[in-house]
Amino acid sequence: MRKLSVIVSFLLVACLVRTAAPAAAQSASAVLEQSMSDTLDLWREGRYEQLYEHLAHRGKTSREQFVKTMRDTTIRPACCFQKLENFKVLNEKRTEATVYARVGLEGTPDAAESSTREFKLTHEEQIWKMQLADVLSIAGATGKKKHRTSKKSSPYK
């Protein structure tokens, strides 16, 4: 009789743990999505000093350089439900996560009104932070010049 109650107890605990695991995964995904959404809100609102503090891997970019660069760009995240769509966690570790999402954009010079790609998030200072390079890339302010070469054919060849 004692063995039966131990087995039943074990099965109940196993069932509870099994049903709690997806909820934990969903809440982790929700935390990552909310963190990314909050970061995009700071950018949209033009609060670049606070945005800088919410970004990871800043390298040699100073706050002043970042703020000037962001003020010079016309691209910013779209509002509301268009801001962040199709959010999916691809990989999550204790201090790093890779997510896939579509970020809606406004003020783009071409027809692209969104950026759909993978983003790396880093857990620092008790929050998940987007990478500074990702924000600059989406804003079109990476500093890298696109080299387009075209070969003109000579009619005399």
> Nearest-5° angle of CA 29, CA 53, CA 77?
60
What pLDDT score was predicted for residue 98? 97
pLDDT at 157 over 80: no
- 70 inside domain: yes
What's the pLDDT tens digit per position in 1-20?
A: 666 665 655 555 555 445 44
- Residues 108-146: tens digit of each pLDDT: 877 668 999 999 999 999 999 999 999 999 998 875 444
Question: Could you tell me the pLDDT band of residue 30, with boundaries at 50, 70 and 90?
Answer: very high
Domain of 112? 23-138
Residue 152 in domain: no
- Please report, as a single letter, which amino acid is at residue 150: S
Q: Is 102 in contact with 119 (CB distance < 8 Å)?
A: no
Q: For the residues 43-64, what does the mean pLDDT come to?
A: 95
Taking the CA atoms of 78, 33, 136 and 102 in sequence, report the sign of the dihedral they define.
negative
Is pLDDT above 60 for 47? yes
At 21 the pLDDT is 44
Question: pTM for the complete prediction?
Answer: 0.73
Tokens describing residue 131 = 């990478």
In a domain, 121, yes or no: yes
The answer to whether the CB of 102 falls within 8 A of the CB of 84 is: yes
Residues 126, 56: Cα–Cα separation, whole Å: 12
pLDDT given for residue 58 in this prediction: 85
pLDDT of residue 9: 58
Q: Give the angle 112-115-117 at the CA atoms, nearest 5°.
A: 145
**Cα(first)–Cα(last) distance of the chain, in Å?**
98
Predicted local confidence at residue 3, as pLDDT = 66
64 within a domain of the structure (yes/no): yes
Task: Assess if residue 72 is contained within a domain.
Answer: yes
Please calculate the CA angle 105-53-36 and round it to the nearest 5 degrees: 40
- pLDDT of 146 reads 40
Provide the pLDDT for residue 151.
42
- Flag whether 60 is in a domain: yes
3-state DSSP call for residue 109? coil
Residue 122 C-alpha from the chain's centroid = 10
Q: What's the CATH code of the domain at 49? A: 3.10.450.100
- State how far the Cα of 141 lies from the Cα of 135, in Å rounded to an integer: 9
| Number of domains within the chain | 1
Does some domain include residue 52? yes
